[in-house]
Amino acid sequence: MIKSVRTIISLTVLGGVLAGCGSSGAHRTGTAALPPQPSTAASSSAPGTEPPVPARGPKGLTPVFERRAGDSAPGSAPQGSRDAAGRTGKVVALTFDADMTADQGPRAAEGERFDNPALIASLRRMKVPSTVFMTGRWAQEYPEQARSIGNDPLFEIGNHSFSHYAFATPCYGLPAVDEADMRGDVERAFTAIRGTGARNVVPYFRFPGGCYDDVALKALGPTGVTAVQWDVVSGDAFATDADAVAEQVLEGVRPGSLVVMHCTRSAAPVTEEALRRIVPELRERGYRFVKVSGLMRP
């Protein structure tokens, strides 16, 4: 059993994230694809601004690689551009967060769609290996889709918590998980995902909203997960311009990049359309697509 959480991609996010209000010791490194609540103030980052690089976690954590905004290549290891077979080259991992909070059942019952079958269909049609970070609540709402994704060798499923609540606050208005419940929330998510019959479930964890601190990392140590962040923010959360999303990804990708996108139709409605431009253009540049496991050392 791994006693500490290993972190992949401790980094500076590029522009276009939703701004979180307030400040704390939390490392905020991305967007939450949660439809804004009335009390949530969400706005685009100011042009030209650059969030601070998050501090490293407690001793024992080993980031697989770190990139700061403006770097042309991963800052600390060649494995950022090496696939699981040991081949170097222009590889990129597209990841998709399947977000749904524990208390959004009534909204789903009223017709709001937190899934995106068209996105998954496009990934299959274009034969793009991908990692889906799925909440347990999403898996419970869409068990057939979770099982289909989790049994398709094109995909792997990572853990995105059960509830999609924040593991450190403030975090874009997300409700907070109590420290005592953090480990249980992650384990409950694995149970829900595997309970659908999904088999390609990997021990990777993505913090909701990308928000974490040392308390959260310590709480999750006994689970043995690897915390996976990103170095390219797609900006697809709440976006309405597919070309803008595509351009942001295409501008940010470098060999070994890990891109965060969303598989939540109501909160990221143009992702599939943007993907239809992103994939062929990156292939034209010579990139190969890999799952997150394809960025790991063999």
H/E stretch holding 257: strand 257-262
Token look-up 């996108």 returns 261
Going from the C-alpha of 229 to that of each of 3, 6, 121, 257, the distances in angstroms are 19, 11, 25, 11
Residues 6+ apart with CB under 8 A from 62: 6, 7
What are the mean pLDDT values of the chain's consecutive 10-residue runs (298 residues total)?
44 25 35 30 27 28 32 31 53 97 95 97 98 98 98 98 97 95 98 98 97 96 95 96 98 97 97 98 98 82
- Give residue limits of the domains in the chain: 6-17+59-66+73-295
Which of the 8 DSSP states describes residue 6? E
* Cα dihedral across residues 26, 28, 32, 38: positive or negative: positive
CA-based nearest residue to 250, from 11, 1, 50, 14: 14
Question: Residue 251 class from Cβ within 10 Å (0-12 exposed, 13-18 middle, 19+ buried)?
Answer: exposed
Which pairs count as long-range contacts for 103-111, CB under 8 Å and 24+ apart, including other chains? 103/175, 104/137, 105/137, 105/141, 108/141
CA–CA separation, 33 and 132 (whole Å): 14
Going from the C-alpha of 13 to that of each of 9, 28, 52, 265, 275, the distances in angstroms are 10, 9, 9, 23, 20
CA angle 214, 219, 220 (to 5 degrees): 100
Which tokens belong to 253?
Answer: 């990708």
CATH topology of domain 6-17+59-66+73-295: TIM Barrel (3.20.20)
Contact 17, 233 (CB under 8 A): yes
Half-sphere exposure of 232 (CA within 13 A, CB side): 26
